[in-house]
Chains A and B, each alone.
Chain A
Amino acid sequence: MNFAEQLPVLPIITPLLLAPITLLLPKGRAPHLYATFVSWLTFAACAYLLAAVAQSEAGFFSYHLGAWAPPLGIEYRVDIANALILLLISGIAAVVFPFAYRSVQLEIDERQSPYFYGAMLVCLTGLLGVTITGDAFNVFVFLEISSLATYALVAMGARRDRRALTAAFNYLIMGTIGATFFVIGVGLLYQATGTLNMADLHDRLTGQSNRVVDAGFAFILVGIGLKLAMFPMHLWLPGAYAYAPSAVSAFLAATATKMAVYVLIRFIYTVFGFDFEFLGAAFVWVLLPLGLAGMFVASIVAVFQEDVKRMLAYSSVGQIGYMLLGLSFGTVEGVAASLVHMFNHGLMKGALFMAVACVVLRAGSHSIKAFAGLSRRMPFTAWAFILSGLSLIGVPLTVGFVSKWYLLQAAFEAGYWHVGFLIVLSSLIALLYIGRIVEVMVLRDPPEDGQYAIPNKDAPLEMLIPMWVLVAANIYFGLNTELTGGLATRAAEALTFTAGMGQ
């Protein structure tokens, strides 16, 4: 039993097995340090995994859980596509965990802190598990592991604002309905094929086109659509992200919806990656229009928000529109653009929500009023927000530009030149809502008195460093597209190769 053979299972069992120990630790700093350590271990495992997969000849690892061979046993199947998402999720975790301490100390009852970090680790396990597994039912189990932890984490925001409770409850109702729809879909596919392994499902579904398979696909699309906040099923998201503790918002906004988009890509291109008539219709009549609608409606709603966290949440719904758009083209370039944007959006949204967390720490609020004159009061936080905001808009030299570039290229190559035009147009809306905050931060004078009159003191270093690591990543991956762009193209080729439509 050597290390390399067991590598694919490490990102899952590390946080899963180490999470309960958090509950035994004394309140205070210990659970935080411990959870940070675990998140770094997980990140190291994921980074090593990506490097190993990128170099391996087969292009994927197949790990048989308990040595039960697939299709009967559960298989963890790591290829470049999900190794990239694993790296993103564990990377965001490795940055948010050290960041969280001061923010959590302020926003959460100290007695709950061991539970908080335990739930964060369980949530991380679920997110990574969904990404790594090659078994359709296993996806559901991990999806619910992460979701249940998320409901609890969102509800912990109740100390600051009791609306976190109703937001968590709505999220629970919608999330459970989504997961149950997914299970119905998987059940229908099982009925049609007798297997749950994704690669095996692909083999057995190939050539089948009947109402059972169609219905299975539709149920899975709607179920995952609820989980990834596909417009118009996004109504749980703004509340949940706005009222969750700031560190949780940063973590979830950067990872949870990305994981769901990945599941959708995996099902569309691996499981249904054959000449499936229904899929073409879903691209043209569901994913493309809903992606476009999300881009515009959610972004326009974001412009009018008074609460910065809520604004960023609506912006997330809009950004998910871009990812759906990319995968709805049905081309290698489109899937690559979608993957690149998932990775990049994780980086920018993580940094933006972390900046808001710093403001909440000092000003005690995430209303836009608390941002007045921020560039003079908290320059490092303000500039982190501005730089990642520019990235969100898609200014050159940032990751946002890389995303938009890939997306536009994919749109033109797919022959959707009018969609390309709409992508540029919707970026201008992002300019509006980010510009509005930037204007308040840079041009307004800080309030002299009243609730938001706070001392000129930037966030503590332990929060600034992780935040600036993400901001630096935003710039670095904007200049060097080798990791994201190169790997995403390879990943998309691998994904669509299974689909037999890469040529």
Chain B
Amino acid sequence: MMETWIDFVVARYNYWIVIVLMMLGLYTVFARGNLVKKIVGLNIFQTSVFIFYITMGKIAGGTAPIYIGGELDHGGGHGGDDHGEGGHGAGHGDAGHGAVGNDNGGHDAGADAHEASSAGADHAKIENTFDANDLKSATNAFEAHDAEDLKAAAGSLHNAPDNLPADIGKSANTTLADAAKEALKTPGFKPEGEAAVHGGANGAEAVAEAAAYHSEVIYTNPLPHVLILTAIVVGVAGTAVGLALAVRIREAYGTIEEDELEAMDNVAEFGDKAAEAAGSAGA
């Protein structure tokens, strides 16, 4: 019992970091009287959110979402993005990197991926050990798309064998990848971001593309990284404005200790000439 409990805690160490940093930051914001320390606390608080988002996008065994090799020059929407799009789901299933790790527990999705590939090509395995977080709708989406997209894939990937025996998963994997590349080279295939990413009309091509991708590399989900880059920019801007205000407060009041500021504000009767003079002197 004790061991499972420790496992539970250790396996989610990144979440503990997030929670500890979050509480630490919030506590600093409220407990500290110094305005600059408040800003520092705010930054710690925001950093915890950055780590939270990065945790969300991380896939064990996945590499940074930077495109490696191959003839495609467009990316997006791969890796751990459990969108359950037609192209996606089928792509995972076909190429064998079946584990879509919504990496909540920090488990090894990479290892699962190879097992899934040898187990056959018809199901994308969704790993999710975060309790109470059942990705039921996502799973449903995958399953709903799998059947028809596999047919579409079979049509497109003409070299692919009809049934993949369990024991030749690895070689079938390579065959499929080659087939996918073949399909990409055929005239009429337009490797445009929109068509490829959104499946939809060109489901088969999207499958082929996804297969080609996933036969080579597992990427971590790039989207949370992009989001958090935006949030970092926003956070830096907020910090800059906050520190600028602290400087102005220091100029106007001569202190940045909250207690003293409050006392001075309370003393200052509105319309008081002295207070106004001090205010405009600061300006």
Contacts and interface: CB of A to CB of B under 8 A. Distances in A.
Interface in B215-233: 223-224, 227, 230-231
A148 B241 contact: yes
Contacts of A56: none
Interface stretch (B112-120, B159-167, B202-210, B270-278): B270-278
B46 A180 contact: yes
Given A158-B252, A166-B261, A187-B53, 17 more contacts: A68-B194, A72-B77, A72-B197, A144-B234, A148-B238, A158-B283, A159-B280, A169-B242, A179-B234, A180-B46, A191-B133, A194-B84, A196-B223, A196-B227, A203-B137, A204-B138, A211-B132
Contact of B271 (A155, A203, A451): A451
Contacts of A195: 83
Contact of B52 (A151, A161, A187, A203): A187
Contacts of B194: 67-69
B136 A177 contact: no
A183 B102 contact: no
Interface string B224-259: 100100110010011001100110110011000000
Nearest to B45: A180
Contact of B245 (A168, A204, A211): A168
A307 B81 contact: no
Interface string A184-228: 100100111111100000011111101110000000000000000
A163 B249 CA distance: 9
B148 interface: no
Interface string A439-455: 00000000000010000
Contacts of B130: 191, 212
B248 A165 contact: yes
Interface residues of A, number: 54
A61 interface: no
Given A158-B248, A187-B52, A194 B279 contact: no
Interface in B1-49: 26, 29, 35, 38, 42, 45-46, 49
Interface size class of B (residues with CB under 8 A): 35 or more
A212 B136 contact: no
B133 A166 contact: no
A191 B283 contact: no
B237 A144 contact: yes
11 contacts: A67-B194, A72-B197, A140-B231, A155-B245, A161-B270, A162-B275, A165-B249, A176-B46, A177-B45, A212-B133, A365-B271
Nearest to A168: B245
Q: What 8 pairs between A and B have smallest CB-CB spacing?
A: A162-B279, A162-B252, A194-B82, A210-B132, A159-B283, A144-B234, A211-B132, A212-B133
